[in-house]
Every structure is written in structure tokens, then in C-alpha cells.
Amino acid sequence: MSSATLLKQGSLAVVAALALGLGCGDGTGPGLPLEIPTAIAFDSDRFGNRDVFVLWPDGRLTQVTEDRAYDMMADWSPDGQLIAFASDRDGNSEVYVADSDGSNLRNLTNHPAADAYPDWSPDGSKILFHSDRAGIWDIWLMNTDGSEPVNLTADLEGDQIYAAWSPDGAQIAYESNEAGSTDIYVANADLSEPRQLTDTEGFEGRPAWSPDGTRIVFQSEGAAGYDISVINADGSDRHSLAQDPAPEGLPAWSPDGNWIAYSVLFGGNDSEVYLIRPDGSEATNLTRHRAFDAWPDWRPLP
């Protein structure tokens, strides 16, 4: 399977190939290549298993999960105290939540279908996730204790996945192949009135909002492969931030608006988390380790 396919798909088994590396096994490191405004959660197989780690602004690296399963797709709660993530530790992909130090782990979905990619609502009361429990991929909504799951896209055609709340909670951006090719859509918070934001023959997905809600960064497929692009939330002024011939994807906008974190897959099991300015400048390798580091997510500012 090609590195581009790994970035495009994203199941727990298939995506198990992006890496980490800021230093020693005790969690210390030689320092970051630049100053970051807040902590970044990501997944890595640097110690053999695919686990969730947190990189702190002072350069510390802490391990949140430790299991032989795939733990990935971390998402911080709005207060920065909890981390939701996907894991197949119970035999199939489920959404879990734990304290940011890994304690108080609990399974929120507990369903025989595949559930993944949690996204916390800005007010902290709900979690979006995608699931194939209805036979196709749909976007679901549940309370933060896992109760009252609701299928928000039951009436839509095709697969709907990778949902992301707007900062004010009024809209949701998501990925859909309803029109044939995979594109980004934006809808109301109840997934009503969806509108197609991108419209190309290639893959467009993995949306993430800017903190002011005016722009969306996403993973796109062009003639040169996968890269990171930015578009206004009304669909105007699209431009690419491509910096490397290697596949780039899985972006996340920093809460101060100054950085975009993303993954670069160099082939095999060598993937790094990079940072770049929203104007495409100062691309920097943050993790610098020959392992699989992917799915960065910024901790909210206090």
C-alpha cells in the first residue's frame, strides 16, 4: 500500500504507519526546534505500540496510553483536562476518553461496529464521531459519557466522516463522497443544510477550522500527491501550503491561529509532525524521530 493511501484512508489498521522523537525514553528531550503556544497530542509507535503522547511547550514528552492496540486520533476536551481517542483494544475500533495523564480510562461507544475520530463540541457537552454501525459511514453525536448516540447523517447518501465543529459550535465541517469524489462540506450543527465547499476530482478531506472560524485547513490531492490547503469558510480563496514532495495531511490549527500542525509521511514507517505558518512559511519538523508520528491535536489555551 502506498504512503498516499495511508494518509487518505485512516482506519486503525491501515493508518498504522506515521512517528515521534524528541529524545529519551524517560520523556525528556533536547528541546523543541521552536516555541509552541500549547501542548500537542499525537499518536506514535516509538515504543513499539501505537499510543497517544503529549508534547508540552517546555519540551517534555508524556505518554498518555500504553496498550498493544492502536490508540490514535486524539482530541482534547475544551478545558484541556481530558483526551478522547480511538482504540481497538477491545477487538474493534471504539471511542475512549481519559484524563490527560492517561488515568480514568473509559469506553464511550462500546458497540460492535467501528467508531472513530472523536471531536469535542466547543462547549464540552457533546462529542462527534463517525461510525459504520448503520452499514455505511455516518457522523454520530453523543453525550460526553457516551449516552444518547444519534445518527446525524442518516438521510444523506454515501459516506460522511471526519466531522469538525466550528469554534462557535454553530457549524460542522466534514468529509463526504456523496457527489462521487471525496469533498469537504459545511452544515449546521445538526448537519442540516449541507453545502459543498470543495469540488475537484481528487480527494479533499480531514477539515480543521481556524480559531476565528473564517478559514478551514484540509488535506487535498493534486497532481503532485497529497498536501495541505487552506480555504475560506465560504469556499473562496483556496490556496496550497505544499512544502514537500512527500504526502502531507491530517492538519490541525493552533488555538492562537499562528501555526498549523500536520503530518508528513516520508515512506515506510517514517512520519513526522510538522508545523507551518498559515501563509505557508517556516515549515518545521517538530518531532524529529524515525517512528510513526501522526494526528496532531492542539490543547486549548487556558
Write out the three cell numbers for 44.
506514535
pLDDT of 223: 61
Cα four-point dihedral sign 213, 219, 221, 226: positive
User: If DSSP states are collapsed to H, E and C, what string results for the chain?
Assistant: CCHHHHHHCCCCCCCCCCCCCCCCCCCCCCCCCCCCCCCEEEEECCCCCEEEEEECCCCCEEECCCCCCEEEEEEECCCCCEEEEEECCCCCCEEEEEECCCCCCEECCCCCCCEEEEEECCCCCEEEEEECCCCCCEEEEEECCCCCCEECCCCCCCCEEEEEECCCCCEEEEEECCCCCCEEEEEECCCCCCEECCCCCCCEEEEEECCCCCEEEEEEEECCEEEEEEEECCCCCCEECCCCCCCEEEEEECCCCCCEEEEEECCCCCEEEEEECCCCCCCEECCCCCCEEEEEEECCCC
User: If DSSP states are collapsed to H, E and C, what string results for 69-110?
Assistant: CEEEEEEECCCCCEEEEEECCCCCCEEEEEECCCCCCEECCC
Residues 69-76 have a mean pLDDT of 96
Residue 284 or residue 16, greater confidence: 284
Res. 222: pLDDT tops 70: yes
The residue type at 29 = G
Tell me which residue range forms the domain holding 212: 3-298
Closest CA to 295 of 76, 22, 96: 76
* pTM value surpassing 0.95: no
The residue type at 247 = P
Residue in this structure with the C-alpha cell 490541525, named with its chain if needed: 252
pLDDT of 1: 30
User: At a CB cut-off of 8 Å and minimum separation 6, what does 252 contact?
Assistant: 208, 217, 260, 261, 262, 296, 297, 298
Supply the CATH number for residue 239's domain.
Answer: 2.120.10.30
Percent of the chain with pLDDT over 90: 79
Please tell me the total count of domains within the chain: 1
pLDDT digits (tens, 9 = 90+) for 156-205: 999 999 999 999 999 999 999 998 999 999 999 999 999 999 998 889 99
pLDDT digits (tens, 9 = 90+) for 247-297: 899 999 999 999 999 999 887 778 999 999 999 999 999 998 888 999 999
Res. 4: pLDDT tops 80: no
Residues 69-97 have a mean pLDDT of 97
pLDDT of 18: 26
